Structure 1
C-alpha cells in the first residue's frame, strides 16, 4: 500500500521514537531486580536520556500526524492502524516501562493460582522471586482489581509457571488485546457521535499515553477500556439480544477488571432508551444482567467479593492527585501552626474529592443527556481527576471516549495538549525522581527538540543553499 510522503515521515519519526524507548529501557526501564542498575551508573543515565529522547520524538510524530488528520487529504482508519502497529512493534519486546505494576499483576495472578486470598494479603504472602519484583510499597497491599482480571492473571500464571519473561510477554499481549479492541470500536463510536473516525483513532489510540503505558507498561486499564468499548458498541446494535443482553455483560466485565467502568452501565441504559425502549425496563434488564454477570464471573474466578472492600487501596506518598497535593499542603501548614488536625488533612481532602465527584458526575449527565458517550468520557475524567490517586494512564479512562465523541476540534486540541504533558511525567523505571534523574530526562528531551529543529531547518533549506 503506497503512502504519502508526509505519512511515511510520521511513521518513521514515531518508529525512531519507540526504538529509542525500547533501547533506553534496556538499562533505565522497570527491569527485573537482578537486572537493575544504580540510577547513577553511566548505562542507566544514558538509557534515561535515550528514553526521553524517544518520548519527545514520539510526541512530535503524533502531533505531525494530527496535522495530517486535520488536513485536506487525511489518512483513513486503515492507514492509521498500520501506523499504530509500526509504532508499537518495538515496545512489544522492550522491558516494562514507566511502572512496575506488571510485576504486581503477575504476583497476584500466582496468588490466585495458589488459592491465596489476594483481597486479604499482599504479594509478600506469596514470597519467592515474583514477590521480590513487586515495588516495596505494594508488597503488603491487597489487590484492588476485580475477579475478571485476576482470573486472567491466574490463568497466565498457570501457563507460565512463574517464569518471568513469559509472564511479562503474556501480560503485554493481554494489554495489546485491549488496545486492539479499543482501536476496533472507536470508529463506530465516533460515527454514532457524529465525529470523524480518523480523528478519534488519532486521539484515542495513537496518542503517546496508550503506547507508553498500555503497550510498554502493560497496564490492565487496556483490558478495561477494550471491554468497555465493546460493550458500548454492542449497545448501539439494533438487534435486541445484543444491545439488551450482551452490552451490559461486556460493560460489567470491564468493571470487574477495574471498577470505574461501572459508569458505562448508565450509558448502556441511555442508548437503549434512545432506540425506543422504556427507561424502567431498560434499567432493570441492565441491572439484572450486571448482577448475574458479577455473580457468575466471581464464582468462576473463585476470588470472592473481597474486591469491594479492597477499593480503598492506599495511595503512594509520591502520588500527585489533586486532593493528595492539597491534603499534604494543608497538613504541612497545620503542622507549622501546631494543630493536632494535621494528620486528618489528607483524608479530609480525599473525602472532599469524592464528594465533588459525586456532584460532578450527575451534573455532567444532566447537561449532556443527548451525548451519552461524551458524558461517560467526561465522567470518567472527573473520577480520575478528583480521586485519591492518579497516574498518567488514568487520563485514558476519559480520553478514550472523549476522542470518540468530542463535540469540537478545540476540545480535541485541549485534550491533546494534556496528553503531551502527561506523557513526560513518569520515569521509565517507575520510581520517584531525584534531581539528577530530572536533569537527565530534561537533557534527553531537549536533545530531541534540537534534533527536530535542525531537521526542520534542513528540510526548509533549498538544495542550492545546502550545496553552496
Structure 2
C-alpha cells in the first residue's frame, strides 16, 4: 500500500522533532546524541521522498495546508540545523542595553542566554543590518528573560517572512508554493529560524512593486532587505531594470527614485537604531572560518594541504586568502554577465522581462553565497526564493528542487556541519568541480567553431 505523501511528510517532521530533543546539544559521545543523529538522517530521507512526490502539485491551498501540517511538530521542538536563534536573542539583549553590535559579541553584556550560544559566536560582532537589530531588540524585550518565548517570537518572524515570500511570488507569477513545504524551508526557516527568509520576502516584494513601475516602493523594499542583511544589495541592479523598462519605459527618472528610496529607508533605520555602516567592519567576523562549502575557500584549502605536504604549513592561510580573492573576482564577472544579459532581454522585450530578470537576480544571490568566503545551507534561501517567483522549467527547475532537498543534509540537528568533518574530501571535491566547469567552458567555443555553417 502506497503511503500518502502528506502523512509520510508529517511522520518525517515528527521524527525530526524527536531528533532535536535527542541531539539538540553537541555531545558526540552521548548515546542519545548518536541516536538523534541517526533519526535525523532517516527523517530527512523520508521528508525528501514525501516532498519529491508533491513537486507536480500546483494548487496553492493544498500545498500551503501540507506545509502547515508538516511544520507543526517542528514548532514545538528545539531549533535544529543551526543554533543562530540563540545568538539572535542575545543580540537583541545587547541592542536593548545600548551596546554596539558591530563591535561586540554576546559575551560583552553578558547575555542572559550566553550558555546557549555556540562558543564560536560569543565574542563575534554581527554584520546584520539595523532593521534586524531593532526586531531582535523587540523580541528580547518582549521575552523578558524567557528563552522559549524569544525562540517562539523569532519563529513567528520567520514564518511571516515565509508568508511574505509566498504572497509576493504568487503576485509575480503564481509562483512555486511547493517550495514552502520543501526540506530546506522546514529545516532552516520553520526550525532553524534564519533571518534570510525575511530578506527574501522583502526582495520578492520589491520585484512585485517593480513590475508595476513603482520605483519608490521598490527601492524602499530593497532598503528593508538590506537592513536585514547587506547582501540584499546584490539584487538591487536587477530590480532597477524592471522599474526602468516597465514604468511606461524606458523611464529615466525611475532609477533615481529607486536609489533615493533605498538610501532613505536604510538611513532612517540606521539613525533610529544607532547602527550605521559598522557592518563593513563586522563583515570579516566570519573570515576565520574555513570550510569547503564555499568553493573558493575549498580550493584554497586544497592548495594549502598540498603546501603543508611540501613542508610549508604556514602557507595554508595564504592559499585560502588568495583563493578567496580570486573568488571575488570571479563573482564580480559573473554578476556583470548576469546583469548585462538581463538588461539586454529587458530592453528587447519589456513585457516579458520579469522571468529572465528575476532568474538572473536569483542566480546572482546564489553565486554570491557559494563564492563568498563562507557558505551555509541557509545562505541559499534568498536566491532560491527569487527563483521560486519565476516559472521554473527545465534544468533550472530540477537544480532548484535538488538543492532544496540536498542542502539540509549538510547540517546536523545540533548545528554541527558535515563540512567540519570532511575538510580534505570536500576541498578535493571543490577542485574537481572547478576543473569540470573550466573544461566545459573551454569545450563550448571549440564545439561552436566545429559546427558547420549553413550556406544558401
**Common fold by TM > 0.5:** yes
Measure the CA separation in 2 of the matches of 1:353 and 1:118: 28
Picking from 25, 42, 48, the partner of 2:37 is 48
Aligned to 1:212: 187
Q: Deviations over 1:127-170 (max 9, x none)?
A: 24422221111111111100110110011111112321111111
Structure 1 SS opposite 2:300: helix
Aligned to 1:22: 17
Measure the CA separation in 2 of the matches of 1:282 and 1:356: 30
Aligned to 1:458: none
- Where structure 2 has 5 or more consecutive residues not aligned to the other structure, the ranges are 346-355, 423-456
Aligned to 1:253: 224
- Indicate conservation of the 8 Å contact 1:252/1:265, yes or no: no
- Indicate conservation of the 8 Å contact 1:110/1:162, yes or no: no
Measure the CA separation in 1 of the matches of 2:30 and 2:394: 45
CA RMSD, Structure 1 to Structure 2 (Å)? 2.2
CA drift of 1:374 comes to 0.8
- Indicate conservation of the 8 Å contact 1:205/1:400, yes or no: no
Aligned to 1:351: 325
Q: Deviations over 1:12-38 (max 9, x none)?
A: 111111111111211212xxxxxx473
CA drift of 1:319 comes to 5.3
Aligned residues: 408
Residues 17 and 328 of structure 1, relative CA distance in 2, 3 Å threshold: same
Aligned to 1:464: none
Aligned to 2:265: 293
Aligned to 1:423: 408
- Indicate conservation of the 8 Å contact 2:235/2:364, yes or no: no
- Where structure 1 has 5 or more consecutive residues not aligned to the other structure, the ranges are 30-35, 192-196, 438-468
Does 2:326 align with 1:326? no
Q: Deviations over 1:200-219 (max 9, x none)?
A: 222x3222101100110000
Picking from 237, 251, 258, the partner of 2:212 is 237
Picking from 93, 116, 127, the partner of 1:110 is 93
Aligned to 1:270: 241
Aligned to 1:90: 73
Q: TM-score, normalised by structure 2?
A: 0.84
Residues 368 and 263 of structure 1, relative CA distance in 2, 3 Å threshold: same
Does 2:121 align with 1:138? yes
Measure the CA separation in 1 of the matches of 2:20 and 2:363: 33
Measure the CA separation in 2 of the matches of 1:102 and 1:92: 14
Does 2:4 align with 1:9? yes
CA drift of 1:222 comes to 1.2
CA drift of 1:64 comes to 0.5
Structure 1 SS opposite 2:275: coil
The 5 A counterparts of 1:310-325 are 310-315=282-287, 316-318=289-291, 320-325=293-298
Measure the CA separation in 1 of the matches of 2:382 and 2:368: 9
Aligned to 2:368: 383
Measure the CA separation in 2 of the matches of 1:408 and 1:292: 37
